[in-house]
Chain A
Amino acid sequence: MALEDVCKSRSRAKPASLLDFDVPVAECLQENPPRSGTPQNPLPFEMSHGTTTLAFTFQGGVLAAGDTRSSCSGRVSCPDAEKVKPIHSHLVATSSGTSADCTLWKRILARELRLYQLRHGRRVSTGGAAKLLWHMLLPFKGTKLCVATTLCGWDESGPAIFYVHSDGRRLRGTLFSVGSGSPYAYAVLDQAVESGMTAEEATRVAREAVYRATHRDAYSGNCVDIYLVTSTGWTRREREDLKEEYYRERKNRQGGTV
């Protein structure tokens, strides 16, 4: 079958086991150990992890939001990056850390989840997807690879958020914010997020949290992306430029007392 050839699946002498995940990267690490980013061979510049991303669960599902500024040694390298991306119909992942690493590993995760779905006829749970990503990143612990992502999904057991970091951490929770702007976002979220919120309220809170973080954090900014994951899948709110909000608020402040 054509798809099997493309996927180079191993000979089906034994029935496909639940643990049939192809993890090629660990072998290639043995052949080519990382040569840059070690103390003997430092990187030419420090990769900064400038981002504000957040995710929380509420009665209406899971909300994931992020800014869109991609920075590189003090400069904005891309003002319209996509930090929140869908992995499949019911799973959305935010990314923080090195954008190249995050993009690659999201694609690898999406590939493995899709292969599992084709082979077994059902989707992997959010926790299972997080465990798979954690397992694939383990060989890179101690290298300069940096992926800090929250997987936000809806599976048979309902909404779930898992925070996965390339240093080996995997945590389940109801509210996470990741990146250099996360302390500012936490301050807004901890006060305003309640499980009984409506989707509109949740969107407003997430937008406010990203806005406050982008204002204070130099490495976060430009626009905000918001995704809502429910039992029927993910929906995306149109990207909004936060510059408008900043000027609107300034005008309101000047209109009242300065």
Chain B
Amino acid sequence: MEYLIGIQGPDFVLVAADNVAVSSFLQLKKDDDKMFKLSEKILLLCVGEAGDTVQFAEYIQKNVQLYKMRNGYELSPAAAANFTRKNLAEYLRSRTPYHVNMLLAGYDDTDGPGLYYMDHLSSLVKAPFAAHGYGAFLTLSILDRYYKPGLPGEFRLICSDCHCCFCLHQLNRRFILNLPSFTVRLIDKEGIHDLEKLSPTK
């Protein structure tokens, strides 16, 4: 039902998530933000079971901030992703596993941008582009077809031309559920930027 997408460029990562909070067949909220800011240059996008998402994401968020307070420097995106995966794996075979699917997007000053895909079985992989949800079935082939590693930097300004928007338009065309708007954020060496909310119409 929910949808997450992330695309890594040469010096940025672009991420988008839908805005709907659902309970059985009802939309409870149309402006739900599924992104959690772990640090100045790391975002965690989290979808899955109702209470688990916020509970797990806030737990990771507070621990990453605690690390910075204790040690004086921030965790890198790779370290944060592995920390998240380790926690998920520990809870997986306990009485209270967390059923969450995540994307972690970050910019490291030495290694550059990174996008990490994690699922509820605590698999972790660094990928150039990734998506979660039923919408992923509809949009991954678009990204397979059009993605090239050296995406031009200017496109980030013209969001209507970017691959993210091809994908969101495709969702609008073929997905049975109505996802009226998406939060879009971009992470580069300057930090996290909020882009305009996308409402793809037919």
Residues of A that sit less than 8 Å from B by CB: 134, 138, 141-142, 163, 165, 167-171, 173, 176, 182-183, 186
Indicate with 1 or 0, residue by residue over B6-48, a CB within 8 angstroms of chain A CB atoms. 0000000000000001010110110010000000000000000
Distance between A226 CB and nearest chain B CB, rounded to angstroms: 22
Could you list some 17 contacts between A and B, CB below 8 A? A138-B51, A141-B51, A141-B96, A168-B49, A168-B51, A168-B54, A169-B21, A169-B50, A169-B51, A169-B54, A170-B51, A170-B54, A171-B21, A171-B28, A171-B29, A171-B32, A183-B25
B25: nearest chain-A partner, CB-CB: A183
Question: Which residues of B have CB within 8 Å of A163?
Answer: 28
- Since A168-B51, A183-B26, A186-B26 are in contact, a sample of 14 more A-B pairs with Cβ atoms closer than 8 Å, ordered by chain A residue number, is A138-B51, A138-B55, A142-B96, A163-B28, A165-B51, A168-B52, A168-B54, A168-B55, A169-B50, A169-B51, A170-B51, A171-B29, A176-B28, A183-B25
How long is the Cα–Cα vector from A104 to B154 in the complex, in angstroms? Answer: 58
Report the minimal beta-carbon distance from A176 to chain B, rounded to whole angstroms.
7
- Give, as a whole number of angstroms, the nearest-CB distance from A151 to chain B: 15
**Which of B25, B28, B49 has its CB near the most chain A CB atoms (within 10 A)?**
B28
Which residues of A lie under 8 Å from residue B52 when comparing CB positions?
A: 168
Q: Which residue of B lies closest to A182 (CB)?
A: B26
Could you tell me the distance in whole angstroms from the C-beta of A49 to the nearest C-beta in chain B?
12
Return chain A residues, CB-CB under 8 Å to B54: 168-170
Complex: A138 Cα to B54 Cα, angstroms: 12
Residues of B within 8 A of A138 (CB): 51, 55
Q: In the complex, what distance in Å separates the CA atom of A78 from the CA atom of B25?
A: 28
CB of B36 to closest CB in A, whole Å: 14
Q: Which 8 A-B pairs have the closest CB atoms?
A: A168-B51, A169-B50, A167-B50, A173-B29, A171-B29, A167-B51, A168-B50, A169-B51
**Cβ contacts under 8 Å, B32 to chain A:** 171
Interface residues of B in 118-174 (CB under 8 A from A): none
Asked if B26 contacts A169 (CB within 8 A), the reply is no
* Closest CB in chain A relative to B18 CB, distance in Å: 15
Q: Roughly how many angstroms separate A142 CA and B55 CA in the complex, as a whole number?
A: 14
Q: In the complex, what residues of A have CB within 8 A of residue B49's CB?
A: 167-168
C-alpha spacing A138/B52, complex, angstroms: 10
Residue of B nearest to A164 (CB): B51
CA distance A141 to B49 in the complex (A): 11
Specify the chain A residue showing the minimal Cβ separation from B27: A186
- Which A residues are CB-close (under 8 A) to B23? 165, 169
Which chain A residue has the least Cβ–Cβ distance from B55?
A168
Pairwise interchain contact A173-B51, C-beta atoms closer than 8 A:
no
A163's nearest neighbour on chain B, judged by CB, is B28
- Bound-state Cα–Cα, A75 to B32, Å: 38
Minimum CB–CB distance for A133 against chain B, Å: 12
Q: Please give the distance in Å from A137's CB to the nearest CB on chain B.
A: 9
Contacting residues, chain A, for B21 (C-beta < 8 A): 169, 171
- Report the minimum CB–CB distance from A78 to chain B (whole Å): 26
Q: Determine the distance from Cα of A168 to Cα of B23 in the docked complex, in whole angstroms.
A: 12
Q: How far is the CA of A93 from the CA of B156 in the complex (A)?
A: 45
B96–A165 contact, CB under 8 A? Answer: no
Q: Could you tell me the distance between the alpha carbons of A183 and B23 in the complex, rounded to whole angstroms?
A: 11
Residue of B nearest to A141 (CB): B51
Q: Across the interface, which residues of A come within 8 angstroms of B29, CB to CB?
A: 171, 173
Q: A176 CA to B32 CA in the complex, in Å?
A: 14
Does A165 contact B26, Cβ atoms closer than 8 Å? no
Whole-angstrom distance from the CB of B136 to the nearest CB of chain A?
23
Chain A residues in 8 Å Cβ range of B96 = 141-142
Once the chains are docked, how many angstroms separate the CA of A60 from the CA of B23?
A: 28
| Residues of the B chain whose Cβ atoms lie less than 8 Å from the Cβ of A176 | 28
The interface residues of chain B lying within 8 Å CB-to-CB of A186 are 26
Please report the C-alpha to C-alpha distance between residue A40 and residue B32 in the assembled complex, in whole angstroms. Answer: 37
A134 to B50, CA, bound (A): 12
Question: Which residues of B sit under 8 angstroms from A167, Cβ to Cβ?
Answer: 49-51
A203 to B23, CA, bound (A): 26
Cα separation A134 to B49 with both chains bound (whole Å)? 15
A134 to B28, CA, bound (A): 17
A142 contacts across to B, CB distance below 8 A: 96
Chain A nearest CB, measured from B195 CB (Å): 23
A149 CB to closest chain B CB (Å) equals: 14
